[in-house]
Structure 1
Amino acid sequence: MIVVTGATGGLGGATVEHLLTRIPADRIGVSVRDTAKAQHLADRGVRVRQGSYEDPAALRDSFAGAEQVLLVSGNDPAADLVGLHRNAIEAAVAAGVRRIVYTSQQGAVPGNPYRPSDFHIATEAMLAESGVAWTALRNGAYGPLDQVLGPWQQTGEIAQPEDGPTPYTDRADVAEATAAVLAGDRYFDGPVHLTAPDAVTFDAVAEIASGLTGRTIKRIVLDDEQWVAGQVASGVPEPMARLMLSWYEAGRAGYFTEADPLLTELLGRAPRSVADRLAADIAT
């Protein structure tokens, strides 16, 4: 059995949907905070059990009988994510899980200024010490493009801090590849990268957007503090703005430059490109 945590969230839920196309439903389990939100999966034959990283006993029950567990990383910057991930790893080990697959992040290496890298690094270290086979999927940035580009369709500008080449990756592609890793005959040990095949800068994105819209989309490089002040003025809490700034700092320092062919290999097709995603955004 394969058990997926966070199965009512975006990445976990999409991964379960792809698993259902690959293996029988009775070989899939989910561990969720609110079982009512997973009723649609239970109706299709998926085993649904309550579990959260805060409750190790419930986790052990939700992981029981699993050969593999997908640990979807937490994303609350205010939480003790290392401690919560430790609970999940220990529960998986106690339940007799043979392999833990963890959703890590591209650039999860010492020195990366992007602050979430720290808890990914710590979690990967705990996995390495767990005594259980493990895989860390170091996923490329897969959030909505507008999250990093800003409201470019309205302003005609990508006005953000200095950036660096980044393989912006579609979440749907990451979910499909994650399901392929979980359900496939080939195992991956340690960290692997799931990224789009091309790393691009905002200059390149502006050119792509210009071609798609028939408008001139300008790339404006904002001073870091100017950008933070603008975010705060728009209602973003300053700690959150500075957290996001550290992502731009990591990009221009080269921590996200590497693009890996594994995602393409697992999908058996080309992943969605930035141009594909921008075109879809324009059409909506």
Structure 2
Amino acid sequence: MPIVVAGATGALGRLVIDALLDRSAADEIVAVARDRARAADLAARGVDVRIADYRRPETLQDVFSAGDRALLISGNEAGQRVGRHRAVIDAAREARVGLLAYTSILGGPTATFRIAEEHIATEQALLASGVPYSLLRNGWHHENYTGALATTLKTGAVVGSAGGGRVATAARRDYAEAAAAVLTGSGHERSVHELSGDTAWTMAEYAAEVSRQTGREIRYQDLPQERYAALLIDSGVPAMGAQLAADADAGIARGELGSTPGDLSRLLGRPTTPIAEAIAEALKDLPAQS
């Protein structure tokens, strides 16, 4: 039975395809993408590429078939996700897919930070649709932080507004492998998986680990939410993205992204990737620092 990945050319989607190729034949995998050129490398690996766009529901009509297992990877257009996700859910319902997994947010309806709102609304739409579902409530990725290591080393600081709150991150590849395990496994219909790293850490602990690995003095600079948002805007982050990031940090301060239920490591059959390992890998990819 085909496995359909909607949003296959994004950072997470490509890793899901990689994980599926380790478990399934390429001709059993369908990659849904907006742009055929961006998916050319997937087609070269034997994956069936179908062109569709969450923003144009009519393009989704031929994406799914009866009995398919599918993954809806959340869109990245803040404020516009729910309608686009509903279009995918509607297409999956019309096609009578066997399972639709959705990459939601850790904590689901208990999360109160603004980024969670569209995930919660999508969960509600999926449950109301009657489509067999699996909610993959993903926590934060290591890459949310290691992706900024060049700036951290340049400024000597990790900056945020999370206070002493803990965040249980995992590697993007961990989340991708978990999604592949659900899509290729059995018994996941009408399931909820709270996915996070095995260990939660504070921003100060993250800064200390970067210091340890680089031999530099890196501190954590905690700012009020408004000042942190303003700093992000000054650095070139769009205003909405900056406000959402600062608001999410406030959620971390409240403990909303620090839970470690162990669902992710159980799906993986191994421990999640430690943040120290992710820092080491990211440092290898940086240009030599003077």
TM > 0.5 between the two?
yes
Q: Is the 8 A contact 1:35 1:50 kept in 2?
A: yes
TM-score (structure 1 length as normaliser): 0.92
Distance 2:10 2:125 in 1: 24
TM-score (structure 2 length as normaliser): 0.90
Distance 1:162 1:41 in 2: 38
Give 1:277 deviation, angstroms. 0.9
Secondary structure class of the residue paired with 1:166: coil
Give 1:36 deviation, angstroms. 3.0
Q: Is the 8 A contact 2:52 2:63 kept in 1?
A: yes
Secondary structure class of the residue paired with 1:196: coil
Distance 1:53 1:116 in 2: 19
Evaluate the alpha carbon distance shift between residue 44 and residue 219 of structure 1 in structure 2; reply closer, same or farther with a 3 A threshold. Answer: closer
Q: Is the 8 A contact 2:160 2:246 kept in 1?
A: no
Question: Which amino acid letter does the alignment assign opposite residue 275 of structure 1?
Answer: A
Paired residues for 1:82-93 under 5 Å: 82-93=82-93
Paired residues for 1:222-261 under 5 Å: 222-261=223-262
Secondary structure class of the residue paired with 2:61: helix
Q: Is the 8 A contact 1:149 1:160 kept in 2?
A: no
Distance 1:243 1:49 in 2: 32
Question: Which amino acid letter does the alignment assign opposite residue 109 of structure 2?
Answer: V
Q: Which residue of 2 aligns with 1:94?
A: 94
Distance 1:252 1:199 in 2: 12
Question: Which amino acid letter does the alignment assign opposite residue 156 of structure 2?
Answer: G
Distance 1:22 1:47 in 2: 16
Q: Which residue of 1 aligns with 2:14?
A: 13
Q: Which residue of 2 aligns with 1:205?
A: 206
Residue ranges of structure 2 left out of the alignment (5+ in a row): 286-290
Paired residues for 1:1-284 under 5 Å: 1-79=2-80, 81-110=81-110, 112-113=112-113, 115-142=114-141, 143-146=143-146, 151-163=151-163, 164-187=165-188, 189-284=190-285
Evaluate the alpha carbon distance shift between residue 158 and residue 54 of structure 1 in structure 2; reply closer, same or farther with a 3 A threshold. Answer: closer
Q: Bigger shift: 94-103 or 224-233?
A: 224-233
Evaluate the alpha carbon distance shift between residue 278 and residue 43 of structure 1 in structure 2; reply closer, same or farther with a 3 A threshold. Answer: closer
Question: Which amino acid letter does the alignment assign opposite residue 127 of structure 1?
Answer: L
Distance 2:166 2:189 in 1: 26
CA RMSD across the alignment: 2.0
Distance 1:45 1:66 in 2: 21
Secondary structure class of the residue paired with 2:200: coil
Distance 1:111 1:168 in 2: 16
Secondary structure class of the residue paired with 2:193: strand
Q: Bigger shift: 82-91 or 230-239?
A: 230-239
Q: Is the 8 A contact 2:139 2:195 kept in 1?
A: yes
Q: Is the 8 A contact 2:101 2:135 kept in 1?
A: yes
Residue ranges of structure 1 left out of the alignment (5+ in a row): none
